[in-house]
Structure 1
Amino acid sequence: MTALHVRDVMTSPVASVPLSARMEQALGLMLEQPVGSLPVLGTDGSVVGILTEGDLLARVELGTTGPKPGWVQYLADPGRLAETYVREHGRRVADVMSRMVVTVAPETGIDQAAALMTRLRIRSLPVIEAGRLVGIVTRTDLLRALQAALRRAAAAPPRDDAAIGVDLEAAFAEAGVIPAGNIAVSIEDGAITLRGLLADERVCRAACAAAESVPGVRSVHDRLTRIDMSTGQRARSSAGIDAGRAA
């Protein structure tokens, strides 16, 4: 599979607002597009901030601000409290936006972009090239890429059973948690049947998932048996995969 880069999935051109924009202008753009975030541009065109839906959750107009601080808090950190007040009451994008912006380059791998979004709990990453905003990659963009990949897999042409078997062995090995020696595999016209004894239901599911991921597989039939190591009792796997791949 060819590695995808941010350039392959990003949204471009991207909606943005100038640092001087009013809140009403930014909100109108977010709702019209619709988008969940807007990069904020300085006078030189560089990204100086980002306005996200999360930045707008605590607003006095909605009655969603936090409790008023006590005098001890004022004495401890008046500057921080003032900053919070501005974010809850300000009418300019510059008042509300997040100034710490995480960006990526167009050639960044989507694996790196996804890892950043997950680790930092953010939903979008402005894409910068030569100091200029050229796009934005969002969780939705990654979901579209996933949908396209699944559709390509579903439309894959038939393959030789021997070739499928080779790829299945590789998939088991890559997973690192599947005891391939405990699993008997039979393949007929692209239909895979798995039999064997495994000690963990989750491993049964992993084996079935690996089989389904192999290109050209038409269906996976789960005939695995799970053995409870504490009691010695055997039970059929409940992975529940016993059907053809959706078109």
Structure 2
Amino acid sequence: MQDSFDVTTIVFLALAVFVIWRLRSVLGQKTGHERPPIDPFTRRETADPARPGANGADNVVRLPSAGIDRPAAPPASTPPADRWAGVAEPNSAVARGLDEIAKAEPDFDARGFVEGAKAAYEMIVTAFAQGDRETLKNLLSRDVFDGFERAIADRESRGEKAETTFVSIDKAELVSVETRNRVAQVSVRFLSKLITATRDASGKVIDGNPETVVDVTDVWTFARTLGSRDPNWQLVATEAGQ
């Protein structure tokens, strides 16, 4: 991605054991028209005052009914091979990874996760361009936030401003799903169209083009401890995709 959007070139290898996605929401669908950032956290079912982030500023990709602990119910029958249709190919590594998550949390909604991830992607990209540290702090793990904050501070020290406009998110697909020591890590490849530009202190465009739509590919990784009372997924890594 261009310098005006260098957030996607930063790779964060540290995985917080305390995990989120809303990066999605995260993880909304795009129509190709500019509009305000989407709040990916509206998928929550009920607010629990005792839960961190219950004041509405949490970074949440809600798994259906994931806010309470419950023993995993034994499967009544072998899940169908196409249970992840539209998200993963039958018997693929991604499908097997989703099966592992579903064993720990039978209510896991892979399609909802992808939609949430798309919303989180837009929100985080927009917040980074605007230098909105408060929004980023609520969406990122500490290590990832520190990296984003340094990039924003460097840009501000030069008197530069980044401009990013979403045109569309054309595709969001799961490319890797792994579970280690009860921590699930889900990587999502985003294919999007953006308008990006960086201006110097005088307002002159020094990178990008405010009139040109560019194709962007990014891979973001979200993680969460399965079985945790915390339904949040955290963004733990970003990289420019191929």
Query: Of the two structures, which has the highest relative contact order with CA contacts closer than 8 Å and spacing of 6 or more?
Result: 2
Q: Is TM (by shorter chain) over 0.5?
A: no
If the TM-score is normalised by the length of the shorter chain, which range does it land in?
under 0.3
Give 1 or 2 for the bigger CA radius of gyration.
Answer: 1
Q: Would you tell me which structure has more helix in proportion to its own residues? A: 1
